[in-house]
Amino acid sequence: MTRTGVRRLLLVTTNYAPEPAGTSRYATQIAEHWAAGGAEVHVLTGMPHYPAWRLDPAYAGKREAEEERGGVRVHRHGHTVPSRQTALSRARFEASLLRGALAAAPRIEGLERLDAVAAQMPSLAAGVVGARLAARHGVPFVPVVRNLLGTRAAVARLVERRVLRQAAVVGAAHETLVGELAALGVPQDRIRLVPNWSLTPRASRPREQMRAMLGWRPGQTVLMHCGDPGDGHGLELLVDAARTDPTLRVVVLGDAAGRERLRARAGGLPPNLDVAPLPDDSELPEMLAAADVLAVTDPGVPAELTSCFAAGRPIVAVVPEGSGTGREVAQAGAGLVVPPGTPGPLLAATRALAAEPERGASGPVYAAAHLTREAGLARIDELLSLALAPPPAPSPLPPMPAAPPVPAEPVVPPMPAESPATGEVRLPPMPAEPPAETKTVEPSDADEDAVH
C-alpha cells in the first residue's frame, strides 16, 4: 500500500475506454469500480482502435499518452493496428503490444509499492506484461480470462500455460473455461468463476416505432447478429443465410471498413444484408429488442451475449453444442443451439423462433438473476481479496512424545584397596562357611539284629 494506507492496483488490458466493445467496457468498469472504492488505480493499455481496427484519430502520431478517466490514471502505449485479421497479423499485433507495454512501464510514475497486478485476457500481451510486472514488484498476479487463444494456435497455448501458472488466482468468465484452465496446469483451487455481466439496460422504446426508424418492413423477419463486430467470427454463415432466403433481412453491426472486410471475405454481399453502424449504449438495447431473432456465432461466450439476454428476444446460437455459448443459451432457456457449417439449420431455427417470440422472455429473467453488474463486480472484488489474503498460518505441530525414563546405572562395588606398606592388594576376607550340620543317625532294625 501507499504511505497513506491506500491500496495501489494496476490493470493491464489491451482495450479500454473510449472503445465501445465489451472487453473494453468490462476493463473500464472494473478499474473505475476499484477507484470509487478508494484505491489508487493505474491502467496500462493500448491506443483506442477497436472494433474498427483503425487508430482513433485523436491519438494519431502519439507513441505514448497519459490521461485520467473516472478517477483512473490511464497510461497508453503505441502499437501497430492491422487492417486485415490473419494469424500472422494477430501475432505481429500481440508482439507490438508486448514491446510497447514493456517499454512504457518503467517510465510510469506511481507504480512503486503496488499491491496487485490484474490483467484481462485473451490478450497474450496483457497476460505476459501483467505477469512480469507482478513478479518484478513481488505482488500477486490476478488475470481475468474471458477467452483463450490457445484453442486456435499451439504457440498461444504455450504462452497461456506459462502465464497462468504464475497467477495467485484466476477468474474464468464461463464454466467451460474452468476445465480449459485446469488443462493448462492451473490448480483447481486457484480458479474462480467470474461470469460476464450485462452491459446494457432493457429497451424502453416501442418495438414497432424502432423498426420503422430503422426502415424494417412490417412483417419481415429480421435476424440480427449479436456479437463482437470487430471479430467477424462466423459472419460468412450469415451472408450465406441471406443469400439462401431473400425474404429474410440479416443485420450485422459494424462500420464502413467492417462492411468492406465482410464483402471481401464473403465474395460480395446480398441486398437483404445490412451492415448497420455500431450504436451507442443507449441505442444498442433498442436495436436488439427490435429484431425478431438474435444470432450468436462466437462459441467463446462473447460479452455481447449478456445484452442479447437483456433484450428479451429469442437467440439462435450457431456454435458447437458443448461450447460456452451453447451451454449458456441452453441454461438460460432463451433460444436454440444449431451446428455451424451450412445455413440450413440456422434458417430453420430462425423461422421457428420468429414464430415463438415468447421463447426469448426467459433471457431477461436469467440476466437479472445471474448477470447483474453488481454481482459481477462483487465477484471481481472477491477475486482480488483472495489474492491479497495472507497465506494461512501453518497448523501447529503435534506435541513431542515424552522421552522414556533413563534406566538407573548399575551400582559397581568399590575396587579392593591396596596395602600402603607392601602395595599388595588386600582382598576382602572370604565369608566364613556355615558349620556343617551334625546328623543323628537312628539305628535301623537290621543293625540292632546284627548287634544281638
pLDDT digits (tens, 9 = 90+) for 381-402: 999 999 999 876 666 666 766 6
Q: For the chain, what is the mean pLDDT?
A: 86
Nearest alpha carbon to residue 114 among 139, 143, 141: 139
Identify which has the larger pLDDT, 431 or 73: 73
For the chain, counts of helices (H) and of strands (E): 15, 14
Q: Give the whole-angstrom CA distance, residue 31 versus residue 25.
A: 10
Residue 250 located in a structural domain: yes
pLDDT number for residue 450: 40
The confidence band for 441, taking pLDDT boundaries of 50, 70 and 90, is very low
141, 110 in Cβ contact below 8 A?
no
Please determine, for residue 93, whether its predicted confidence score (pLDDT) is greater than 90: yes
Residue 428 located in a structural domain: no
Residue 420 located in a structural domain: no
The predicted model scores a pTM of 0.80
The confidence band for 48, taking pLDDT boundaries of 50, 70 and 90, is very high
Q: Which residues pair with 66 in a beta bridge?
A: 75
Q: Give the whole-angstrom CA distance, residue 385 versus residue 439.
A: 104
Q: Which residues pair with 164 in a beta bridge?
A: none
Q: Give the whole-angstrom CA distance, residue 133 versus residue 141.
A: 9
Q: What would the pLDDT profile of 282-318 be if each residue is shown by its tens digit? A: 888 999 999 999 999 988 888 889 999 999 999 999 9
The confidence band for 232, taking pLDDT boundaries of 50, 70 and 90, is low
Do 42 and 72 belong together in one domain?
A: yes
Q: What would the pLDDT profile of 15-30 be if each residue is shown by its tens digit? A: 999 998 778 999 999 9
The confidence band for 98, taking pLDDT boundaries of 50, 70 and 90, is very high
Nearest alpha carbon to residue 234 among 127, 316, 167, 348: 316
Q: 283: buried, middle or exposed (CB in 10 Å: 19+, 13-18, 0-12)?
A: middle
**Which one of 330, 357, 388 terminates a domain?**
388
Q: How many angstroms separate the Cα of 134 from the Cα of each of 30, 38, 126, 412?
A: 18, 21, 12, 72
**CATH code at 74?**
3.40.50.2000
Do 351 and 259 belong together in one domain?
A: yes
Residue 109 located in a structural domain: yes
Do 188 and 220 belong together in one domain?
A: no
Do 307 and 231 belong together in one domain?
A: yes
Residue 58 located in a structural domain: yes
CB atoms within 10 A of CB 115: 19
**Which one of 343, 360, 388 terminates a domain?**
388
Q: What would the pLDDT profile of 189-224 be if each residue is shown by its tens digit? A: 999 999 999 888 888 899 999 999 999 999 999 999
If one counts the domains in the chain, the total is 2
Find the mean pLDDT for residues 324-340.
94
Do 384 and 335 belong together in one domain?
A: no
Do 311 and 330 belong together in one domain?
A: yes
The confidence band for 417, taking pLDDT boundaries of 50, 70 and 90, is low
pLDDT number for residue 33: 98
Domain hosting residue 296, numbered range? 207-370
pLDDT number for residue 405: 67
Do 249 and 355 belong together in one domain?
A: yes
Do 382 and 321 belong together in one domain?
A: no
Q: How many angstroms separate the Cα of 194 from the Cα of each of 28, 299, 306, 379?
A: 16, 18, 13, 6
pLDDT number for residue 227: 75
H helices present in 70-206, as ranges: 87-104, 124-137, 154-164, 175-183
The enclosing H or E element of 364 equals: helix 362-370
H helices present in 267-323, as ranges: 284-290, 304-311
Please determine, for residue 237, whether its predicted confidence score (pLDDT) is greater than 50: yes
Do 134 and 244 belong together in one domain?
A: no
Find the mean pLDDT for residues 423-451.
50
**3-state DSSP call for residue 8?**
strand
Residue 26 located in a structural domain: yes
Do 34 and 168 belong together in one domain?
A: yes
Q: What is the DSSP letter of 360?
A: G
Nearest alpha carbon to residue 284 among 262, 314, 251, 258: 251
Residue 63 located in a structural domain: yes
Do 359 and 213 belong together in one domain?
A: yes
State the distance between the two ends of the chain, measured CA to CA, in whole angstroms: 131
Residue 396 located in a structural domain: no
**Which one of 370, 401, 425 terminates a domain?**
370
Do 220 and 181 belong together in one domain?
A: no
